[in-house]
Amino acid sequence: MPLSDTAIRKARGREKPYRLTDERGLYVLVQPDGARWWRLDFTLNGKRRTMGLGVYPDVELGDAREKRDRFRKLIAVGIDPVKHRRTGAGEADASFKAVALQWFEANRHEWSDRTYAVKKRRFEQHIFPEIGHKDIRAIEPPEMLRIIRQIEDRGTTDLPRRMRADCGSVFRFAIASGWETRDATADIKGALKKRKKTVHRAFIRPGDMGEFLLKLSEDQKEDQDTKDALLLTILTAVRTDELRFAHKSEFEDINCEKPLWRIPKERMKMDREHLSPLSSQAAAIVRRRLEELPERQSLLFGRGTKSGTISENTMLYGLYRLGYHSRATVHGFRRTFSTLANEATKVVDGEEVPMWHPDWVERCLAHVPEDQVRAAYNAAEYLPQRRRLLQWWADWLDAQRENAQVRRLIG
């Protein structure tokens, strides 16, 4: 019985690949992941052969039947349709880049605009210069391993794995599209470096921030330096050393509408200048400390120590004294901020959507994507958006502290 478009469209993946048979050797091979590949079985010179005719729905049922009929006419006169397609005039470009670009377009609807741009930029940077010009049928595993190891040598373990997976998808797309090739990435998986184990520092969850801030504000034993350092670290989401060595010259327009903290690259983990817009609450702390700063003191948290500032453990021990030993670290406040900002949502036209773009959150944390390829990193990128985000964060913290105080009074 001939296939119908409805039957193909409703086909779902099973544990193993299976066929949906049409007529005259044509069938759809349904993969475990749900992909639907057109195949044509035929006999030539007494041998059973199979060729690919593309991927559904890019190749629709009518198109597949038209291809089947055209190739069967060649078979009837003894012409191998696979060789004819491979060597015939007007054959499609079989270069890796050409096939990869087809794969990008075939899958574009599955990705966001940002994901599409990132993936394509990675191929343009790491893959196309190496094998973009090569016939995809001639690429072997050792060559793919060499390319992926070049990416590993740049010091990252996640990107090589992503690139291997995406390149594998291109090879499988080529196979499904009828090119007689193989997945040259399949045999190199075990040769890649193991991922570094991620260590997550203890952190205070967003729902517990109100009680922590209330304890901090009420504590009479902590000196003002420690309280200010903790609060400013929380409000700006910076790293400990970025705050400890804050210099008074780094703060700009502190009495104006858009105060800014310009942290020099020498003190940044990624060796890039970082601009941190200050919320009104953060700016108030900075203004007060600048006003109280002795004339000869240049560091915002200067101390008579060897380093000239508060020690690495000043804020950490402050957390311990407040009862958060093993429950929180200073660095963990960055995770609290990231968790809350990435999970916050709003309703637009009746639909719940993210409140903040992930890129804005990452820039607040001074994270630079590993696929960032511009020669000059723009430290001011998303500055207006980040200013709104950090002000929202500061206002949210105030609300949490006030709510905790109310709960305590009625509780």
Tens of each residue's pLDDT in the chain, 411 residues: 788 989 998 888 888 889 999 999 999 999 888 888 999 999 988 888 888 888 888 888 988 998 888 888 888 877 777 776 655 434 567 789 989 998 998 888 888 777 888 899 899 999 999 999 988 888 989 999 999 888 887 766 678 888 998 999 999 888 887 777 888 888 787 676 665 555 556 889 888 999 999 999 998 878 899 999 999 999 999 999 999 999 999 999 999 999 999 999 888 877 788 999 999 999 999 999 999 999 889 999 998 888 899 998 999 999 999 999 888 999 999 999 999 998 998 888 888 888 999 889 989 998 865 444 443 456 667 899 999 999 999 999 999 999 999 988 886
The strand pairing partners of 309, in sequence order, are 302
Look at the chain and report how many structural domains it folds into.
3
324 and 216 housed in the same domain? yes
336 and 403 housed in the same domain? yes
pLDDT number for residue 393: 97
393 and 293 housed in the same domain? yes
Residue 170 · residue 360 · CB < 8 Å? no
Place of tokens 């590949």: 37
172 and 225 housed in the same domain? no
pLDDT number for residue 312: 83
**111 lies in some domain:** yes
CA distance 183 to 282: 54
Cβ neighbours of residue 202 closer than 8 Å, sequence gap 6 or more: 326, 327, 328, 329, 332
pLDDT number for residue 286: 97
CA distance 231 to 382: 24
Does the bond joining 142 to the residue before it have cis omega, within 30 degrees of 0?
Answer: no
Total-model pTM: 0.53
The strand pairing partners of 42, in sequence order, are 49
Residue 309 · residue 244 · CB < 8 Å? yes
53 and 132 housed in the same domain? no
**197 lies in some domain:** no
pLDDT number for residue 71: 85
139 and 79 housed in the same domain? no
Last residue of a domain, one of 55, 87, 119: 87
Q: Containing domain of residue 74, as a range? A: 5-87
pLDDT number for residue 264: 92
